[in-house]
Amino acid sequence: MKKPIISIISALVGTLFGAGVMGKVSMDKTQKIQAKSDKHFALFLMANQWVKVKQEGKHLASYFEKNNYKIIAVYGMSYAGETLIDELQDSSVTIAYGIDKNADSIYADIDILSVDADLTPVDAVVVTAITFFDQIEEKLSEKLDCPIISLEDILYEV
């Protein structure tokens, strides 16, 4: 008689414990999905602002010229970084190099360096990874003595 009761209690405890673990796993996964969704929404809003800037006939090069940033670096070599480099091509702004955590696996027409590399001085660094701007700014500020600017801020100021 004791054996069935112990089995039932064991099954209930196992079920409750398993549900708790599954709930935690599910919550962790949900938070990761939400973070990724937030990141993509922020990038969408930035791209939308970029389209508005272009529709108004403005060019990002004017921001750099106005602030006397002649030689810059670009942090984040995904779509936004590539598009920024394309936009600044044939302008008075020189892009000295790109910076990316995956520098070893990125091919580009400019040098791509890791944030841990020796970064040569530039007039400014533009961060295209806008959702991680604060962490990136902190890391770059330890290595470079220049303004570190979010691409998002540039798009709203141009």
Question: Is there a domain that residue 112 lies in?
Answer: yes
**Would residue 73 count as lying in a domain?**
yes
The answer to whether residue 16 sits within a structural domain is no
DSSP code of 97? E
pLDDT of residue 98: 97
Amino acid (one-letter) located at 87? E
- For position 64, what pLDDT does the model report? 98
10 assigned to some structural domain:
no
| Residue 51, in any domain of the structure | no
Domain CATH code at residue 85: 3.40.50.720
The model carries a pTM of 0.80
Is residue 153 one of the residues assigned to a domain? yes
pLDDT truncated to tens, each residue of the chain (158 aa)? 455 666 666 665 665 555 555 566 677 888 889 989 998 999 999 999 999 999 999 999 999 999 999 999 999 999 999 999 999 999 999 999 999 999 989 988 899 999 999 999 999 999 999 999 999 999 999 999 999 999 999 999 99
Q: Is position 145 within any domain?
A: yes
d(CA 10, CA 32): 33
Q: What is the pLDDT of residue 144?
A: 97
Q: How far apart are CA 42 and CA 151, in angstroms?
A: 12
The pLDDT value recorded for residue 11 is: 60
Work out how many domains the chain is built from and give that number. Answer: 1
What's the pLDDT score for residue 142? 95
Kind of pairing between the strands at 148-150 and 112-113: unpaired
Provide the residue range defining the domain that includes 69: 57-157
Distance CA 87, CA 89 (A): 6
Closest CA to 125 of 152, 146, 102, 101: 146
Q: Is residue 83 part of a domain?
A: yes
